[in-house]
Structure 1
Amino acid sequence: MKITNFNFVTVALVFGLITSAFAQEDPTTFLNRANAKIAKAMAFKNNWDGPTTGPKIAAQKKLIVVIASNLKNNSVLRVSKGVQEAAAVAGWDVFTIDCWGVDSKHAEAFSRALALKPNGIVLAGIDANEQPKEMNAANAQNVPVVGWHASTRIGPSDGLFSNVTADPKEEALIAALLGVVDSNGKAGVVVLTDPASLYSQAKSNEVAAVIKQCRTCSLLSVEALPITTSADKMPALLTSLQQRFGKKWTYIIGVNDSYLDLLAAPASTAILANNKIQTLSAGEGSESAYQRIRNKRQQIATVPEPFGQQGWQIVDELNRAFSGEKASAYTTPAYLVTEQNIAFHGGDKNTFEPNNGYRAEYKKIWGR
């Protein structure tokens, strides 16, 4: 990678000036600002920056129902496990309903969840706006719903007591800027996004906006592909892109690592290698992504989310709802993983596990 050695004092001074609203400017200035933002994202701190106060866990046992979009999805599975781990500490019961990646099952699963008369519901990977009837029913029954990637917004939104998520625009900004820096301001970018997901579209829109703001870069195409696209369809797409853009095409930015998983088949890998295409992801942090980055196979970076920590936060948000307090609306800063820092914060286990003591911090809050 062409990432320069960073001056972290400069990072602190410049960070406040950098947002997704980069105007087109002198390419050198743009590149310097991008470098500073990337340095900030790579330097994840060990200290806890989340909530330090909140309600204790009540003695009364609670029933939490997790409605999971698809437990075969690594992200959803890890968040669900985080909820189960934290709920066990709280002394709560957890019942999980898996929708198996079938959107038409969401409403049915929500109705099943309400029929169990739970104390709280977790909507994991399902857009709250898609379930207005069920969300209204939950609110009418005073059943708080905490989402994970259930809205493009952080904290209370769309009928949710709180939505736990990374900032999709911040993740996309970091990924796009890395493409700019790694190419020395000459990236020719194709973006892969899911047309069925507002969360994914928020990311791809931000990636596109940042690349357009780089005067010497090129946004070649935004390809809308359902996340369920099979890997055997990718070689034809890659061949088409190569024919359309030739040597101008140098980078693929996926809205998450699942798209880059689709590129890992031998036929796709060969096309990318022959055309010297680099890939990076604007989110997730899957095990396969970590392995590709570590082994320097095609993927140069990912912007992972701390799924286990998010599971604990979901339980904390529910406890705040049960106690009549406001949501913490906390979100972790964006963290960029490259070969340079992959050994830290859970990277040795191919996941983003912040070394910030979040379990102990939440236990202090809960009186556990």
Structure 2
Amino acid sequence: MKLTQFNFVTVALVFSLISSAFAQEDPTLFLNRANAKIAKAMAFKTSWDGPTSGPRIAAQKKSIILIASNLKNNSVLRVANGVKEAAAVAGWDVFVIDCWGVNSKHAEAFSRALALKPNGIVLAGIDANEQPKEMNAAHAQSVPVVGWHASTRIGPSDGLFTNVTADPKEEATIATLLGVVNSNGKAGVVVFTDPNSLYAQSKSNEVVAVVKQCRSCTLLSVEALPATTTADKMPALLTALAQRFGKKWTHIIGVNDNYLDLLATPAAAAIIASNKIEALSAGEGSESAYQRIRSKTVQLATVPEPFSLQGWQIVDELNRSFSGEQASAYTTPVYLVTEQNIAFHGGQLNTFEPNNGYRGEYKKIWGK
């Protein structure tokens, strides 16, 4: 799999096809913005840019229940582990309820959590809007709910004390722009998204919008594939897409790495290779994604999230709620991982682990 070097002159030319807002600018200003967009996404800062003040951890132990959409999902599992790690420092108890990827279990799990009378609840990968009755019950019991990917918006929203997430639109934008640059402005894109997730759909909608802004690119298809889609279904789908679009098809953009996991089987990978398709992800940053990028197999890039850091932030946000303070609404800037920068920020361990000292910073805030 080839990886186009990021020549900023080339980037500028491609970006002129992408954004009407950019195209209306002075060419020099446009070039500066185009250069900055790519460079910033690939060079994550090593200095802490999150909160530096907040309430100390109270002496009274707190009980937290984390409701996980599916602990078999790498991102959900790592966030849960981050919450446990941070809660141990705070001296809190954490109980996890796994919904096993079954949406119908969300309401039941939420009701079980409330029956245990916790001090706080975390919704990990579960849309808060889908649980209006349970959210109202939590408010009535004065139980704060912090979300992770529980809304398409960042910060306080949809009844949540706050929603911890990267900006899904920014993730989708960066991934799509990379696909456009990689194709020299002639991308033919098939998008894989989850029809059951508003968060995933917000990403795929942004991918579509960016592709359509590129005058010489083509949006070929948006494939609605539930998160429960199995790898054995992919060869037939890929074959049908290849027959339908032929050489026009150059790129697959998945809303997360799970979809690219489905492409890594020998049969699916052979179809991708024979049709010279490049695949990249608009989010997550799974271990398998890092391995594929490093080995130049199937996957070109990913836009990872710092799961452990987000777990620590969730604990910090809950502590702010317990203390009657406002949420920090902190979010990490978007980060793009390719073969060129995979060795940095946890890449050796196949994860995004920002080298910005976040654990020490949160401990300072908490007085730990």
- Are the counterparts in 2 of residues 61 and 93 from structure 1 also a CA contact under 8 Å? yes
5+ long unaligned stretches in structure 1: none
Aligned pair in 2 of structure 1 residues 321, 63: CA closer, same or farther (>3 Å)?
A: same
**How far is the alpha carbon of 1:3 from its aligned partner?**
3.1
**Residue in 1 aligned with 2:99?**
99
Q: Distance in 2 between matches of 1:35 and 1:273?
A: 30
- Read off the aligned partner of 1:135 and give its amino acid letter: M
- Are the counterparts in 1 of residues 19 and 214 from structure 2 also a CA contact under 8 Å? no
- Greater shift in the superposed pair: 53-62 or 214-223: 214-223
User: Which structure 2 residues correspond to residues 27-106 of structure 1 after superposition, within 5 A?
Assistant: 34-106=34-106
- Are the counterparts in 2 of residues 303 and 337 from structure 1 also a CA contact under 8 Å? yes
User: Which structure 2 residues correspond to residues 219-238 of structure 1 after superposition, within 5 A?
Assistant: 219-238=219-238
Normalization by structure 2: what TM-score? 0.94
- Are the counterparts in 1 of residues 263 and 298 from structure 2 also a CA contact under 8 Å? no
Q: Distance in 2 between matches of 1:32 and 1:216?
A: 22
Q: Distance in 2 between matches of 1:219 and 1:145?
A: 38
- Are the counterparts in 2 of residues 64 and 92 from structure 1 also a CA contact under 8 Å? yes
Normalization by structure 1: what TM-score? 0.94
**How far is the alpha carbon of 1:292 from its aligned partner?**
0.3
Q: Deviations over 1:257-294 (max 9, x none)?
A: 00000011111111000000000000000000000000
- Greater shift in the superposed pair: 339-348 or 218-227: 218-227
**Residue in 2 aligned with 1:2?**
4
Q: Are 1:338 and 2:322 an aligned pair?
A: no
**Residue in 2 aligned with 1:160?**
160
**Residue in 1 aligned with 2:146?**
146
**How far is the alpha carbon of 1:215 from its aligned partner?**
1.1
Q: Deviations over 1:325-352 (max 9, x none)?
A: 0000000000000000000000000000
- Are the counterparts in 2 of residues 4 and 35 from structure 1 also a CA contact under 8 Å? no
**How far is the alpha carbon of 1:216 from its aligned partner?**
1.2
- Are the counterparts in 1 of residues 149 and 164 from structure 2 also a CA contact under 8 Å? yes
Give percent identity, aligned residues only: 81
**Residue in 1 aligned with 2:250?**
250
Q: Distance in 1 between matches of 2:297 and 2:263?
A: 11
Q: Deviations over 1:20-47 (max 9, x none)?
A: 9645849xx7898555412210010100
- Are the counterparts in 2 of residues 3 and 35 from structure 1 also a CA contact under 8 Å? no
- Are the counterparts in 2 of residues 23 and 213 from structure 1 also a CA contact under 8 Å? no
5+ long unaligned stretches in structure 2: none
Q: Distance in 1 between matches of 2:212 and 2:235?
A: 27
Query: Alpha carbon RMSD of aligned pairs, Å?
Result: 2.0
Q: Distance in 2 between matches of 1:163 and 1:36?
A: 28
Q: Distance in 2 between matches of 1:43 and 1:83?
A: 26
4+ long deviations beyond 4 Å:
20-26, 29-35
Q: Distance in 2 between matches of 1:76 and 1:3?
A: 33
Q: Distance in 1 between matches of 2:50 and 2:31?
A: 31
Aligned pair in 2 of structure 1 residues 32, 182: CA closer, same or farther (>3 Å)?
A: farther
Question: How many pairs are equivalent?
Answer: 358
SS in 1 for 2:89: helix
- Read off the aligned partner of 1:354 and give its amino acid letter: P
- Read off the aligned partner of 1:362 and give its amino acid letter: Y
Q: Are 1:196 and 2:173 an aligned pair?
A: no
User: Which structure 2 residues correspond to residues 242-321 of structure 1 after superposition, within 5 A?
Assistant: 242-321=242-321
Q: Distance in 2 between matches of 1:119 and 1:36?
A: 43
SS in 1 for 2:45: coil
Q: Distance in 1 between matches of 2:363 and 2:166?
A: 22
Q: Deviations over 1:56-107 (max 9, x none)?
A: 0000000000000111110000000000000000000001111111111111
Q: Deviations over 1:299-336 (max 9, x none)?
A: 11000000000000000000000000000000000000
- Are the counterparts in 1 of residues 64 and 122 from structure 2 also a CA contact under 8 Å? yes
